[in-house]
Amino acid sequence: MSARLVVPSMLRSCAGGAREVEVSGATLRAVLDDLAVRLPVLERRIRDERGVLRPHVLVFVDGVMVREDLDAPVRAGTEVLIAPAVSGG
């Protein structure tokens, strides 16, 4: 099934400038695995090589933040939004 991954502005260069990327998968993990095939540079901005979400990356699935739960279900038309946490210096 196909979902929409919304790319934050500072990562759009990793997606050819696209604001959204079409991804497939029944869970957030599967969606990110699919992204790793389609756009590996973008995917590794979000997860490290172990498949762990980077500590200051936020992921919202249809508006609900799923910080640790990579098994969160994804349905057709789901919006997966990637955002940087308010952190840094």
Partner 1 sequence: MAGAIVLVGTRKGLVVARSDEGRRSWTVDPMQFANMEVSAVGIDQRRTPARIFAGVGAGHWGPRLSYSDDLCQTWTETEEAAIAFPEHTGAALARIWQIQPSLSEPDVVYAGVEPHALFRSEDGGLSFSLVEGLWQHPHRTTWTPGGGGACLHTVLTRADDPQWALVAMSAAGVYRTADGGASWEPANQGIQAVWLPEDQRFPEFGQCVHKVAMHPDRPSRLYAQNHFGVYRSDDGGDSWDAIENGLPSTFGFAMVVHPQQPNTVFGFPLEADGNRVPPEARCRVYRSEDGGDSWVGLSAGLPADPYYAAVLRDAMCTDGADPAGFYFGTRLGEVFGSVDDGDSWQTVVTHLPDVLMVRAAVLP
The only residue of 40, 65, 71, 75 in contact with partner 1, by rule CB under 8 A:
40
Cα torsion 72, 24, 54, 80: sign: negative
Give residue 54's Cα distance to chain centre: 11
Stretch that binds partner 1, among 26-34, 59-67, 70-78, 79-87 (CB under 8 A): 79-87
Residue with tokens 């990579």: 70
The only residue of 16, 37, 54, 67 in contact with partner 1, by rule CB under 8 A:
54
* Tokens of residue 27, six digits: 């869970």
Number of residues in the chain? 89
* Tokens of residue 66, six digits: 């799923």
Rank residues 31 and 82 by Cβ distance to partner 1 and give the closer one: 82
Binding-site ranges for partner 1 (CB under 8 A): 10-11, 40-41, 44-46, 48-50, 52, 54, 56-57, 84-85, 87-88
